[in-house]
């Protein structure tokens, strides 16, 4: 782990400990009630959620295989192991392990790492866009037809949804522009930023061209439609998993009767903080953020909210880890080693790009 990440993790850990001590002093936590909430939960619904999450990794493997099919055709389900091991690394090591998936795919397929990082970026863009559309459509439909008391602060939620929707549409249009006229956009931005700094202009231009190369995985409307459909199906399953877990806590009336729109709000809060996942410490940060959202937005008791948030983390984020660890053993993959190697390989690519920019300038 890099030194700055160790320092940041230590600061977050100390802040978290201080916050927990303060919270326990101000509002004592009933651990017996916490355990009861888990005991009384409907574990059949949680089992359904587990199934949904595992199927999502199949969707991810198929989507990645289809995104690279113009470069190299691979069996649709052949990349399932790379997805499972890659997300296990992220769950246990943190977001610094994000390059593991493209690195493993690169090794498995023999394709350049730079190409697979470009595919990874496109994949994450599809994830972000699909999640944004699910969030906006659910919140806006509920705000329009669900009545004023369905959501907390409905007018604020509507404005946020409109903003997210506008940003998503603008991002989609920008992607289309890059895909169709990437060289023109790169040259224009290169010249514009070059007025400030020639090196900056070259860097921006090169990044746009590299991004355009990543979008080359989408060569037709059919490609876009297939990737979009897989992304939508996957995120609908994730949403269903969240809904099943939350409503499984039948001992809490607020959670048992939670609507889909409220579930999407909770899911959005969890996804937002998971983007900055730290090793182990990030688990507790995510639980804390989701628990706060449940308590402040919907009046859920702290014990029920914490039990639910911990289950969401265990199923939705850490649930893949047991299978990933076993799979890694069969593939003779060390998570710590591959995380280090993938990070170094990514850094080496960045150095090569910088050297190319300096040579060009």
pLDDT digits (tens, 9 = 90+) for 112-126: 888 888 889 888 889
pLDDT at 7 over 70: no
Model confidence at 331: pLDDT above 50: yes
Contact 231, 63 (CB under 8 A): yes
- pLDDT band of 5, cuts 50, 70, 90: low
Q: What is the mean pLDDT of the chain?
A: 83
Is pLDDT above 70 for 300?
Answer: yes
Instruction: Decide which of 127 and 209 is more confident.
Output: 127
Work out the average pLDDT over 323-348: 88
Higher pLDDT, 190 or 50: 50
Q: Is 188 a member of any domain?
A: yes
Q: Is residue 83 part of a domain?
A: no
For residue 175, what is the DSSP state?
A: H
356 or 331, greater pLDDT: 331
Distance CA 353, CA 37 (A): 53
Counting Cβ atoms within 10 Å, is residue 142 exposed (0-12), middle (13-18) or buried (19+)?
Answer: buried
pLDDT at residue 48 in the model:
96
Residues of the domain holding 126: 33-73+118-319
Residues 6+ apart with CB under 8 A from 216: 70
What would the mean pLDDT of 328-335 be, rounded to a whole number? 91
CA 108/CA 237 separation, integer angstroms:
28
Asked whether the beta carbons of 127 and 156 are under 8 A apart, the reply is: no
Count of CB atoms situated within 10 Å of the CB of 153: 10
- Is 244 among the domain residues? yes
pLDDT higher than 80, residue 241: yes
* Interval 318-322 mean pLDDT: 92
Q: How many Å apart are CA 250 and CA 161, to the nearest integer?
A: 30
Planar angle of CA 88, 273, 344, nearest 5 degrees: 50
pTM of the full structure: 0.82
Q: Is residue 17 part of a domain?
A: no
User: Which of 278-282, 294-298, 305-309 has the largest mean confidence?
Assistant: 305-309
As for how many domains the chain has, the answer is 1
In a domain, 21, yes or no: no
Distance CA 220, CA 211 (A): 17
Q: What is the per-residue pLDDT for 88? A: 94
How large is the average pLDDT for residues 145-174? 74
Q: What is the pLDDT of residue 136?
A: 86
HEC-encoded secondary structure of 314-338 = HHHCCCCHHHHHHHHHHCCCCHHHH
Higher pLDDT, 306 or 193: 306
On whether residue 262 sits in a domain, the answer given is yes
- Give the model confidence (pLDDT) of 42-60 as tens digits: 999 999 999 999 999 999 9
Please say if the pLDDT value at position 41 is more than 90.
yes
CA distance 127 to 2: 28
Burial class (CB in 10 A: 0-12, 13-18, 19+), 196: exposed
**pLDDT for 195-238, tens place per residue?**
878 877 787 777 777 777 767 777 788 888 899 999 999 999 99
19 found inside a domain: no
pLDDT digits (tens, 9 = 90+) for 247-274: 999 999 999 988 888 898 898 888 777 6
The reported pLDDT for the residue numbered 1 is: 47
Answer whether residue 265 is part of any domain.
yes
Does 343 have pLDDT greater than 60? yes
């Amino acid at each position: 782990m890099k030194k700055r990440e160790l320092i940041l993790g230590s600061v977050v850990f100390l802040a978290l400990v201080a916050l927990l001590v303060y919270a326990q002093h101000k509002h004592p936590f009933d651990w017996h009630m916490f355990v009861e909430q888990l005991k009384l939960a409907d574990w059949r619904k949680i089992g359904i959620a587990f199934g949904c999450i595992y199927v999502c990794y199949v969707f991810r493997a198929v989507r990645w295989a289809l995104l690279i099919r113009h470069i190299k055709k691979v069996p649709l389900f052949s990349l399932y192991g790379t997805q499972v091991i890659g997300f296990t690394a992220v769950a246990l090591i943190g977001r610094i392990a994000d390059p593991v998936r493209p690195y493993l795919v690169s090794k498995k397929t023999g394709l350049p790492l730079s190409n697979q990082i470009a595919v990874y970026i496109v994949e994450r863009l599809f994830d972000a866009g699909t999640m944004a559309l699910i969030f906006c459509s659910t919140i806006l439909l509920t705000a329009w037809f669900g009545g004023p008391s369905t959501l907390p602060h409905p007018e604020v939620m509507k404005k946020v949804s409109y903003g997210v929707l506008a940003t998503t549409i603008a991002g989609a249009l920008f992607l289309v522009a890059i895909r169709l006229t990437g060289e023109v956009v790169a040259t224009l931005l290169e010249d514009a930023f070059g007025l400030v700094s020639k090196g900056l202009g070259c860097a921006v231009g090169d990044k746009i061209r590299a991004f355009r190369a990543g979008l080359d995985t989408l060569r037709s409307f059919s490609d876009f439609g297939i990737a979009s459909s897989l992304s939508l199906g996957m995120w609908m399953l994730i949403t269903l998993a969240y809904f099943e877990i939350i409503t499984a806590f039948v001992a809490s009336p607020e959670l048992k009767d939670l609507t889909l729109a409220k579930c999407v709000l909770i899911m959005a809060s969890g996804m937002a903080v998971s983007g900055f996942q730290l090793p182990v410490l990030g688990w507790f940060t995510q639980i804390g953020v989701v628990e706060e959202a449940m308590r402040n937005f919907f009046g859920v008791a702290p014990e029920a909210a914490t039990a639910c948030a911990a289950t969401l983390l265990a199923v939705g984020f850490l649930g893949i880890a047991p299978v990933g660890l076993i799979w890694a053993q069969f593939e003779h993959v060390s998570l710590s080693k591959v995380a280090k190697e993938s990070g170094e390989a990514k850094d080496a690519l960045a150095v090569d790009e910088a050297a190319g920019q300096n040579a060009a300038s």
